[in-house]
Every structure is written in C-alpha cells, then in structure tokens.
C-alpha cells in the first residue's frame, strides 16, 4: 500500500486523482486538503475513509469541523503544512494552483517525502531551491503535467549526455491562428473554452495566452537540468503527442496518448509501477492527422516574456508568475482585457528587475511586491 496525501483534491487535477485512487487497490489516502470547498472535501473524506483534512480558509475549516466529527480538520496555510508533515505519507500530490503551492512542496520535500507535482508554480517560482532541497533529502519529484510526465518517461530510459533537445507540445488554445488585433475583444467565456483539455480557470486562461507553455519551459529546465536554449515549444492542436526528445544519434522519441490527465496522474501516483487506467487505446488511423506549427510569439507575447524572465533568473520567474496570477484574476473578473494580461506582466517585470535568490523568504517578498505592482498595473 502506498500512503498518499492529495493537496488540492477538490480541483480539476485533485478530483481526477481521487478517481484514480478509487480504482487502485495499491493507494491509500491519508490526508486531503483544499482552500474553501468544504462540502466537496467532506464528501471525498467520507468516500475515502480519511481521518485528517485541511482547509486553507479558516471559515470553511470551521464549517467542516461542525459538519464532520469523525476526524480532525486543520485550518489555514499552516494547517496544510501540518497535515503533510505529520501524515506519514509515502507520497504527496500537490495539485494546488498558483504560488500557494510552494509551501506544501517545501514541506513535502523537507520531510523527504516523494512529491507528485502538478503545481508547476513551485518550480517556476523556486526551482533551484526546490530541486536542491529534493536532492538534499533524497525525495523524488515526479511530474504530473502531461508534457513533463511524457518527457520524464522518455528521458528516464536514456544514458546521461544522450538527450540533445526537449520539445514541449502546446495545443495553441482556443485562439490559435488569431492575430494580435483579433485578440483585442475576446471574452472570458471564449478563453475558458479550451479545445482539448478540461482544467481549472487559471491554467485554462494561461493556455489561451500561451503563458502556461512559458511556465512549462521553466518547469522542464528545473526538472531535467536542461539549458533553456535546448527546450523547444511546438504547437500541436490535437494534443496527442505530449512530448518529444531529440537524441545525439539523430533519433527522436515521442510520447503519445489521448489528452486525459488521469494517465499522467496515475503514472505519478504509481511510479515506478504502472496501473490500469480506463482510457481507450489510441487509434492513429482514427486520429488521422497530427499537425504541428511554430508558436506565434507576436500574437501571444507571454511565451517570450516567460523565456526572458527565465533567462534573467533570480526573482524574475517569481515576479513573472505573480504578475500573471493577478492579471488572470483581473481578466476573469472582467476588469482587464485579454490583451492586458501580457501588458501587466511586462510592466511588472520591467518595474521589478531580477534580484539574486538566497533563501525561500526572498521569494515570498518578491511574490508580494509583484502582486502589489501588478494590481496597480491591472486597473
């Protein structure tokens, strides 16, 4: 039996992880956590027989304590860290959204617990420190993002020094093929209508701006230790090829599959074993055509901005992420146009140049400063 904690169990990745766990006799959930959705969290708690849960929102935690007396409800950001540290888990799935995921990542790796990582922001914001912590405690970081899961599986079988380049595929989102002018007045509803993946709000908007792919380039750099100029992005609207590696002997290996997040989630939860997932076998004759094209960085400047912040290093990727979180929320609240998202990010990056990073506390400071600046730029 592998004992796991699911942090962010009420979200898109979290609910799919619960589905994977319910079909797997090898997995036992020993802790669940969410921000404020106490009702769904309690439903999952009862279904899985969990005895300890955490809710970041204090009022939601109080509601849950009243409604459920068969176990313990922890509250606040510290509650989630306590849940992880005292869980005795073999693996924590971090499926939080945004830079709020950094604390649970640090708590997990600090305890030497293996981490199934969906929260890419942990690596974007604090990649160097996070990977150094994993190395120091011997904990593994197993990616959940479909592209990184693909690359992890492809790179894992190769001898060191044989992988020349990594390629991340991007669906291109709902606005693929549009010019910058044609993006001026797109609506929230259109941005949330992703053609191939069903995901949480922020990551869906990030996919529409291609910002998400920028985050993924940074994530891949830290996970695989690959220099930025050896990580490519190609737009592939069918989302069948998830990742590709070019090897030193001229061979290229690709990872294919239906776009279904339960596949990489199951891989991360069972690693190094594999388990059955109820997803159909890929029928290439039925798929017919696979298309690929270069990303349009004029219409979608977020990818370029992410690469610039990545190259600048230090606090820049943290500032980049915080600015985007603020801008995306403003867009979702109808306060900022779609094309305002890259404008706010660029403005914030220019105002807060990269500073060196020595400690996790430098990140919390940079994150707060960037949020303040971006909130001003978003009005």
Residues binding ligand NAP (CB under 6 A): 8-14, 33-37, 56, 80, 95-97, 100, 118-121, 145, 197, 199-200, 203, 261
Instruction: Choose between 110 and 200: whose C-beta lies nearer to ligand NAP.
Output: 200
Give the relative orientation of helices 340-351 and 302-312 as an angle to the nearest 10 degrees.
20
Nearest approach, Cβ of residue 164 and ligand NAP (Å): 26
- 53 SS3 class: strand
- Element containing residue 29 per DSSP (H, E): strand 27-34
Nearest approach, Cβ of residue 119 and ligand NAP (Å): 4
Q: What are phi and psi of 115, to 5 degrees?
A: -125, 120
Nearest approach, Cβ of residue 76 and ligand NAP (Å): 9
Instruction: Choose between 95 and 168: whose C-beta lies nearer to ligand NAP.
Output: 95
Instruction: Choose between 39 and 185: whose C-beta lies nearer to ligand NAP.
Output: 39
Nearest approach, Cβ of residue 291 and ligand NAP (Å): 21
Q: How far apart are CA 142 and CA 336, in angstroms?
A: 35
Q: How far apart are CA 80 and CA 91, in angstroms?
A: 15
**Length of the chain in residues, anyone?**
379
Q: How far apart are CA 228 and CA 147, in angstroms?
A: 16
Instruction: Choose between 9 and 348: whose C-beta lies nearer to ligand NAP.
Output: 9
Using Cβ positions, the residue closest to ligand NAP within the complex turns out to be 11
Nearest approach, Cβ of residue 219 and ligand NAP (Å): 9
Q: Which residues of 210-227 are buried (b: 16+ CB within 10 A; e: fewer)?
A: bbbbbbbbbbbbbbbebe
Instruction: Choose between 76 and 351: whose C-beta lies nearer to ligand NAP.
Output: 76
Nearest approach, Cβ of residue 36 and ligand NAP (Å): 4
Instruction: Choose between 83 and 347: whose C-beta lies nearer to ligand NAP.
Output: 83
Q: How far apart are CA 208 and CA 137, in angstroms?
A: 37
Q: What is the 3-state secondary structure (H, E, C) of 139-164?
A: CCEEECCHHHHHHHHHHHCCCCCCEE
Q: What are phi and psi of 231, to 5 degrees?
A: -120, 115
Instruction: Choose between 14 and 172: whose C-beta lies nearer to ligand NAP.
Output: 14
Nearest approach, Cβ of residue 17 and ligand NAP (Å): 9
Instruction: Please enumerate in sequence order all residues whose Cβ is within 8 A of that of 85, keeping only pairs 6 or more positions apart, or say none.
Output: 107, 111
Q: How far apart are CA 174 and CA 191, in angstroms?
A: 7
């Amino acid at each position: 039996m592998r004992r796991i904690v699911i942090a962010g169990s009420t979200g898109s990745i979290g609910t799919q992880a619960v589905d994977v766990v319910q079909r797997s006799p090898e997995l036992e959930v020993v802790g669940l956590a969410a921000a404020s959705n106490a009702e769904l969290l309690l439903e999952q708690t009862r279904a899985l027989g969990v005895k300890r849960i955490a809710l970041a929102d204090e009022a939601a935690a109080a509601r849950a304590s009243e409604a459920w007396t068969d176990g313990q409800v922890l509250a606040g950001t510290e509650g989630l860290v306590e849940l992880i540290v005292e869980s005795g888990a073999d693996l924590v799935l971090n499926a939080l959204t945004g830079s709020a995921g950094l604390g649970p990542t640090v708590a997990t790796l600090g305890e030497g617990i293996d981490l199934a990582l969906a929260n890419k922001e942990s690596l974007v914001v604090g990649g160097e420190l996070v990977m150094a912590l994993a190395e120091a405690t011997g904990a593994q970081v197993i990616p959940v993002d479909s592209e990184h899961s693909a690359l992890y599986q492809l790179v894992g079988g190769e001898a060191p020094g044989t992988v020349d380049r990594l390629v991340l595929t991007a669906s291109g989102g709902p606005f693929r093929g549009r010019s910058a002018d044609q993006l001026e007045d797109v609506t929230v509803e259109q941005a949330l209508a992703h053609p191939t993946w069903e995901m949480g709000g922020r990551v869906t908007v990030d996919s529409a701006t291609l910002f998400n792919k920028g985050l993924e380039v940074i994530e891949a750099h830290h996970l695989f230790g690959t220099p930025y100029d050896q990580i490519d992005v190609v737009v592939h609207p069918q989302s069948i090829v998830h990742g590709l590696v070019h090897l030193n002997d001229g061979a290229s290996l690709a990872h294919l599959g239906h776009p279904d997040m339960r596949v990489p989630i199951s891989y991360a939860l069972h690693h190094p074993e594999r388990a059955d997932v109820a997803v159909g076998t890929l029928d290439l004759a039925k798929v017919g055509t696979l298309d690929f094209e270069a990303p349009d960085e004029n219409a979608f400047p977020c990818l370029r901005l992410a690469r610039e912040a990545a190259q600048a290093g230090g606090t820049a990727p943290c500032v980049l992420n915080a600015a985007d979180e603020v801008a995306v929320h403003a867009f979702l609240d109808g306060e900022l146009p779609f094309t305002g998202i890259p404008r706010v990010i660029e403005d914030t990056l220019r105002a807060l140049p990269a500073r060196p990073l020595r400690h996790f506390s430098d990140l919390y400071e940079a994150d707060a400063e960037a949020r303040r600046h971006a909130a001003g730029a978003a009005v």
